[in-house]
Amino acid sequence: MVVPTYTGAINVVTKDPSDVFSGRVNLQAGEHGTQRAGITLEGPMGDTLGYRLTASTYDTDGMYNNAVNPGEKLGAQSTDDMALTVVFEPSSRLRIKARYHTWEDSDGPDASTGYDYRSGRHNCSPGGLVERWGAAHMVPWDFGADNVPVTTVCGKVPVPTAAEIGHDTGSARQLALLEMRTNESTFPIANGVRDVPDFQVPNGFGMEREAEEI
């Protein structure tokens, strides 16, 4: 049986500014320190120019407790966003539309858990063995790996308990890796030191991002 597939492109066209002045304010609050605020202003600037300005901010403290580092919340998010659209139409034969968009994200460590063979969650074993390697002290590899069964989760993936949701953000090893470089060109990872020129070394847990588009 042959199933046809379709491919193509999606063209997203932003809404034009209104030809009359208007504004809108949005304020929201919720659980886990969630706050959202936004404002939109739009209208004409003379007979040939129109604009729309939007700005918003969003913050939440996160809804999960870090089982690995007690007292810390996981899933915190913060986003500031601003966009400006301008339409210039001096005549019926000439129309120029421009849009500038910028935003900044500052998110904390995410909520995560492990589902490997040691978690006790695997309920299927299709057969076969895999070599399981592990780091030993400062040696890059611990030769003499154990053969463990290939297992997986079949059916509905179990929801992790609160005690299983955690992110290592406080151990001495993890903290020592932050902003760490060796000879300005290598970065230490779990199983040794790798040569990674111009690699941006992490200096925190979570995500920091600034972006803009025109």
User: Which of 108, 107, 115, 122 lies closest to 165, judged by CA?
Assistant: 115
- CA gap 184, 79 in Å, rounded: 32
User: What is the pLDDT confidence band of residue 4, given thresholds at 50, 70 and 90?
Assistant: low
Identify which has the larger pLDDT, 159 or 8. Answer: 159
Q: Show Cβ contacts of residue 48 under 8 Å, excluding neighbours closer than 6 positions.
A: 88, 89, 90
- CA gap 20, 52 in Å, rounded: 11
183: region left, alpha or beta (phi > 0 left; psi from -120 to 50 alpha): left
Q: Which span out of 102-106, 152-156, 166-170 was modeled with the highest average pLDDT?
A: 102-106
User: What is the pLDDT confidence band of residue 126, given thresholds at 50, 70 and 90?
Assistant: low
- What rounded mean pLDDT belongs to the chain? 77
When pLDDT is averaged across residues 92-98 and rounded to a whole number, the result is: 92
User: What is the pLDDT confidence band of residue 113, given thresholds at 50, 70 and 90?
Assistant: confident
